[in-house]
Amino acid sequence: MQNTGLYWFTNDLRLDDNLALAQTAARVNQMLCVYVVDPAWFTPNRYGQKSMGNCRWRFLQQTLVDLTQALEAFGQQLLIIHESPLDAIAKLITQYDIRALFRSQNAGFYENQLWQTLQCRYRSINFEELATHTLFSIHALPFSLADFPDTFFKFRKRVEPLVNNVVISSLTHLPPPPKEKRWSTISRLPLARESGDSLLFIGGASGAKSHLLGYFSTLLPSTYKQVRNALDGWDNSTKFSPWLANGSISVKQILSALRYYEHDVKASESTYWIQFELLWREYFQWLAHAHQAKLFIRSGIRQKKVLTTFYPERFQRWCQGNTPCPIVNACMNQLNATGYMSNRGRQIVASYFVNELNLDWRYGAAYFEQQLIDYDVAVNWGNWQYLAGVGADPRGRRWFDMDKQTKRYDPDKSFIIKWCGEGHDESLDSVDAADWPMIKSDSAIIKE
């Protein structure tokens, strides 16, 4: 009798170093490979934003094409379905008499709810998920999620000694798909608009691998720590984040390449710092696993009351890069054009959003979710909470001085000029607290 398993690709869009996929291949003799594109990603959510903006969608489409080709080389196919995940997976379970369902472990609350709903509905099916998005598995962590460290410092102290030999695996075989099926539905998906600005990021495991090889074949890892805070420039940070976010590459693949570099070229403070930043990513992943729905509530994981409100006009102006602050505008224009912003830029615009515009941080996080090609549920919402003072920052709220940031990171204003940050309206609001139009100084005085 055929034992058909369903492999649900989610945040692990690669074949190599994919433990969950390899385990599935070992357990079943027919395998249905599926990716579900949720139509809800393209409709406004509770913050009025889409989850999936154009840049991220284009990057994801490229990734799916690449994954399809990689699977075909193993005699497999990728079924891409444009439907609500619950309906899509439920239909496939019935249609193909699925006995086992596998996926990569996910930090997201919504993704976990879906999984649990399916488990409740189909009690006779074997459900299995394995860690492919993180460096550690839950069992390898030196603490339980209930005792999860409340700061990165405590986390790092405990896990750093465990980052030794990084073992990565390659895929050797995949069982075939159920016989009667031939499919490819990628052309029926929503279209992504072309934009010339983010062409350096090519979605997919092939693009990820060539970027990995390219990066570690230069001497850039040896200067990473000195330049990582730059606002612009392809070479100033690793640029692994978009591929890591959708799982075109694994954190272990990066760490393994880093170890080779340290062995063959040189280990330094800079190479250590790449691992340090990847541990930040790891921290946010497990923080999200530990706190689930609290990642999305206004008072955050700290359950702290915040005194921000919502000004629709300020929010719009921040999104559009049209605030009185040039460096914020430049960063937002860069994000809107490319789907990417440096870590320093993200800190600057988030601090401005929370502290100077006094806006509810969740709207900023939702806008990032829509725009970033490297959007990762745990890293994005965790960082926003951190900056808003409701998350894992032991120091509380971070308030960046915009003038100082500009002088330090853009002293000659070349970044501001490149990304058209100047020349915007100097006032923050067009109406006052009583909803009267704010009158601009000169034009206000009507001379007879």
Q: Looking at beta carbons only, is 95 or 299 nearer to ligand FAD? A: 299
Residues whose CB is less than 8 angstroms from the CB of residue 77 and which lie 6 or more positions away in sequence, other chains included:
33, 68, 71, 177, 181, 182, 183, 184
Q: Looking at beta carbons only, is 356 or 376 nearer to ligand FAD? A: 376
3-state class (DSSP) for residue 274: helix
Q: Looking at beta carbons only, is 128 or 393 nearer to ligand FAD? A: 393
Q: Looking at beta carbons only, is 127 or 280 nearer to ligand FAD? A: 280
Q: Looking at beta carbons only, is 102 or 224 nearer to ligand FAD? A: 224
Nearest-approach distance from CB 332 to ligand FAD, in angstroms:
12
Dig out the tokens for 279 from the structure.
């541990």
Q: Pick the closest to residue 47 from 352, 366, 408 (CA basis).
A: 366
Nearest-approach distance from CB 343 to ligand FAD, in angstroms:
3
CA distance linking residue 216 with residue 240, whole number of Å: 12
DSSP letter for each residue of 128-179: EEE--SSSS-GGGSSS-GGG--SSHHHHHHHHGGG--PPP-------PPPPT
Q: Looking at beta carbons only, is 77 or 323 nearer to ligand FAD? A: 323
Sheet holding 126-130, edge to edge: 78-82, 30-37, 4-9, 100-104, 126-130
SS3 content of the chain, % helix, strand, coil (to 5): 50, 5, 45
Nearest-approach distance from CB 39 to ligand FAD, in angstroms:
22
Nearest-approach distance from CB 208 to ligand FAD, in angstroms:
11
Nearest-approach distance from CB 212 to ligand FAD, in angstroms:
12
CA distance linking residue 418 with residue 155, whole number of Å: 39
DSSP state of 392: S
- Residues found near ligand FAD in the complex (CB under 6 A): 228, 237-241, 244-245, 274, 277-278, 280-281, 284, 342-343, 346-347, 350, 368, 372, 374-376, 379-380, 383-384, 387
Nearest-approach distance from CB 412 to ligand FAD, in angstroms:
22
